Amino acid sequence: MAMSTALWSFALVVGLLTLTPGLDTALILRTAALGRRTRAWGVVLGIQTGTLIWGTLTSLGVTALLTASHLAYEILRWAGAAYLLWMAGRMIVDTFRGRRAEIDTEQQPAGVDTLSGGWRQGTVTNLLNPKVGVFYVAVLPQFIPEGAPHFTMGVLLTAVHVTLGMIWSTVLIASASALGTWLRKPRARRILDRVTGTVIAAFAVRLALTD
């Protein structure tokens, strides 16, 4: 896989996941909708800080796995494929059953509209979400071209994710009320879940069948 192909493919996967409503989206929309734009940007920066940390740590771990043990890599590959298939299957099936995963709607703590307060909230929320780490461990190695420096390429791919997250967050903050209403519509969420679930399932199959 060429470097440019890896970057575009990874951008497609994380782009779809970024667009899928989740805890991060809910947190940004809620903060912006309350009129706390400075704090909302702090939340965005905190979330992306957490993403960068996950990506960097995973890049370091990937290097160790690839150089130390082929068995460890195979275990990681099959575990990643199984997890992605489970996630994609549940995502798609739930759209037909009409069930929705619950989003944490706990009220934000009262406080002033500060960048640092939002940054702390976003960073902690992201780092305490183990699914982000599992996703990176399962996905990131598959987009690192053969012969490329694993750490450098891993951080570069993470930067792509961070960039897309910043762009989408800008849209969310700029139109918090309208997007918040649209993203809560069952039809919109079903479409996003089905498209994203299909892409994740296809990648899981590729991950399982590719040596």
Domain of residue 203: give its range: 24-33+52-100+114-144+151-209
Average confidence score pLDDT of the chain: 79
Residue 132 lies in a domain: yes
Report the pLDDT averaged over residues 22-31: 78
Residue 4 lies in a domain: no
Residue 88 lies in a domain: yes
Tell me how far CA of residue 103 lies from CA of 28, 49, 114, 182, in angstroms: 13, 21, 24, 16
Residue 83 lies in a domain: yes
Residue 121 lies in a domain: yes
* pTM beyond cutoff 0.85: no
Residue in the structure block whose two tokens are 């399982």 = 208
Q: Enter the tokens of residue 127.
A: 């780092």
Contact 200, 84 (CB under 8 A): yes
Residue 74 lies in a domain: yes
The domain tally of the chain equals: 1
Lowest-confidence region among 27-36, 65-74, 155-164, 188-197: 65-74
Residue 155 lies in a domain: yes
Residue 43 lies in a domain: no
Confidence of residue 110 (pLDDT cuts 50, 70, 90): very low
Residue 123 has pLDDT above 70, yes or no: yes
d(CA 200, CA 198): 5
